[in-house]
Amino acid sequence: MASFGWKRKIGEKVSKVTSQQFESQAADEQGLLDNGDADWVREAKRKKGVLLEECLAKSKRLKEEGVALAENERYREAVHKWDEALQLTPEDATLYEMKSQVLMSLQEMFPAVHAAEMAVQRDPHSWEAWQTLGRAQLGLGEITLAIRSFQVALHICPLSSELWNEDLSWARKLEQQKKATKAETGRTSAEGESSEEPIPDYDFESDEILAVCAAIAEKEKVALASKTVVIVSASGEVETVTEKEECATMPDSTVFIKAR
């Protein structure tokens, strides 16, 4: 069985000249391999760069086609184009922002909010993305969140008159209307509750309740005071016998359990 030290053992039998020649040849071959590896790495990088450029160019073309479709109100087709572009350039925030605008035009508010959030995540410094997010949140009735989004957009772009005069102003107005409606609803509810008749609180210890209980007991006593038995003899004669039982006297009102 060969030992793992066989290279060392064989090397002992090889002359010094032969060994030097072998090492020199091995070094040349290793150099060729190293150059080949370097060429392969350079080629891979080149191909990757070419592929990236092709993806960017195709994504740009799809984006422009989507814009043209959206301008012609062909919103579904525009969303399809931009989804294809996002497969190539998933970090493009403008694609998500435009997609959110189109989805709002289609009255699909939940997907519009999601697309705007994706745009903000990819480019948090884009005031257009924050503006679109705020508008989508208004579409869902999230006024407080929309105001915050508009404020962030204004922090990034404080000179935008559109944000001041249209978006934030409109959101503030809706917030005031919501508060006024809530206050009016609370006031109406309070008035409605005060106009309702209160449920009477019966006193189960009153004399009237005790008198009713006594009357019921008296009626049951009379019903049980006598029992009528019909006896039919073997000859066919019918005889009615009334048996009277002694009944306790009418209970005093003090024996009733007073309910609370």
Residue 45 lies in a domain: no
In percent, the amount of the chain with pLDDT more than 90 equals 45
Query: How many separate domains does the chain show?
Result: 1
Residue 92 lies in a domain: yes
CA distance 56 to 188: 60
pLDDT digits (tens, 9 = 90+) for 139-192: 999 999 999 999 999 999 999 899 999 999 999 999 999 888 888 887 776 666
Greatest mean pLDDT among 18-27, 99-108, 217-226: 99-108
Higher pLDDT, 255 or 179: 179
Q: What is the 8-class DSSP label of residue 227?
A: E
Residue 180 lies in a domain: yes
Query: What integer pLDDT is reported at residue 75 of this predicted model?
Result: 94
CA distance 117 to 140: 14
Q: Is the pLDDT of residue 52 over 60?
A: yes
Average pLDDT, the chain: 75
Greatest mean pLDDT among 37-46, 115-124, 171-180: 115-124
Closest to 82 (Cα-Cα) out of 94, 70, 66, 71: 66
Residue 247 lies in a domain: no
CATH code at position 183: 1.25.40.10
Residue 231 lies in a domain: no
HSE at residue 161, side-chain half, CA atoms within 13 A, is: 0
Average pLDDT on 25-42 reads 61
Please report where in the chains the tokens 């189960």 appear, as a residue: 204
Q: Is the pLDDT of residue 10 over 50?
A: no
pTM of the prediction? 0.56
Closest to 164 (Cα-Cα) out of 131, 190, 195: 131
Residue 19 lies in a domain: no
Range of the domain at 153: 54-192
Residue 257 lies in a domain: no
Residue 251 lies in a domain: no
Assign 18 a pLDDT band (cuts: 50, 70, 90): low
Q: At what angle do helices 169-195 and 127-139 cross, to 10 degrees?
A: 20
